[in-house]
Amino acid sequence: MSRSIVLAIQTGASSSDLYRALTTSEGLRAFWTSDADAAADVGGSLRLGFAEAPVDLTMRLAEAVPGEQVRWGNVSPWPTWTGTEVTWSIQDAGESRTVVFAHGGFVDETSDVELGMIATTWAKVLEALDAYATSGIAQPALG
């Protein structure tokens, strides 16, 4: 059994704007970190750099369904994240969208404190995604 983080947010942003933010270097730089590069094709790499991190976060685009879902598999040297997967599901809710975020596959031994700290960071990133996709104004959550 593994542990997961699941978060959700309701947004007025369009499915296409959310998807573009999650799958392009420009989008990732606008809401997540200004040091980001992404390959748009499934199997391509996503690289995110953070000033506080000793090494970049690297993931592989495992699935991309336009306007519906983006899934990344972790290939990073970040020990706690080894073998984890990040999924962004975009669900139409009439005049709004719901973005369901999941980061799963953490080993059972991952402490509640560590999982809680990771969840807090993801909540900031999710809110920044909403703000960018709704307004078009870049304000990366993590620099």
pLDDT tens digits, residue range 63-83? 999 999 999 998 777 888 888
Q: Which residues of the chain have pLDDT under 70?
A: none
Query: Can you give the pLDDT at residue 134?
Result: 97
Query: Can you give the pLDDT at residue 52?
Result: 86
The sign one gets for the Cα dihedral 106, 108, 114, 119 is: positive
The pTM is what? 0.93
Query: Can you give the pLDDT at residue 70?
Result: 97
DSSP codes, 99-127: EEEEEEEE-TTS-HHHHHHHHHHHHHHHH
Cα dihedral 142→11→123→133 (10° resolution)? -10
Q: In angstroms, rounded to a whole number, what is the distance separating the alpha carbons of residues 22 and 14?
A: 13
Q: In angstroms, rounded to a whole number, what is the distance separating the alpha carbons of residues 70 and 118?
A: 19
Q: In angstroms, rounded to a whole number, what is the distance separating the alpha carbons of residues 138 and 29?
A: 8
Query: Can you give the pLDDT at residue 99?
Result: 98
